[in-house]
Amino acid sequence: PSQPLYTPEPDICHELLGHVAMFAEPSFANLAHEIGIASLGASDEFVDQLVAVYWFTIECGVCREGDDLKVYGATILSSIGELQYCFGDTPEHKPLDLAVTAVQKY
């Protein structure tokens, strides 16, 4: 059945709307590259921590600019449903703390 607000499979909208513009920015491309390099030969526990950081930044990242909430995460940018949820009252937006983010369940 069709679910136009979300698709669990990798899709061209997610890649184009979410990742292409982000990875054209060298700092984001470098972050993704460094996460990949850090995972090589790492323990399963450390890889899980890297995955959590990747998820809460590159995939689902939001930030504040003044009082405005801004979205940069590819999963949110490529989904109308995720955008609506993100700007609703339900999610709790927290400052980025890598020690906490690395062990946060998602």
Percent composition of the chain: helix, strand, coil (DSSP 3-state, to 5) = 55, 10, 40
**Per-residue confidence (pLDDT) for residue 89, from 0 to 100:** 93
**Per-residue confidence (pLDDT) for residue 4, from 0 to 100:** 59
What global pTM score does this model have? 0.82
Alpha-carbon span 100 to 90, nearest angstrom = 20
pLDDT along the chain (106 residues), means of 10: 61 82 91 94 97 94 94 89 93 93 93
Nearest to 52 by CA among 3, 97, 90, 2: 97
Q: Which of 25, 78, 79, 93 is catalytic?
A: 78
Verify whether residue 27 is a known catalytic residue. no
**Per-residue confidence (pLDDT) for residue 98, from 0 to 100:** 95
**Per-residue confidence (pLDDT) for residue 2, from 0 to 100:** 60
Alpha-carbon span 70 to 13, nearest angstrom = 19
Backbone dihedral angles phi then psi of residue 76, each to the nearest 5 degrees: -75, -45
CB 52 within 8 A of CB 101: yes
Verify whether residue 93 is a known catalytic residue. no
Tokens matching residue 63: 């930030």
Verify whether residue 39 is a known catalytic residue. no
Verify whether residue 33 is a known catalytic residue. no
How many Å is the maximal CA-CA distance in the chain?
Answer: 41
Residue with tokens 């698709």: 7
For the chain, helix (H) and strand (E) counts, in that order, are 7, 2
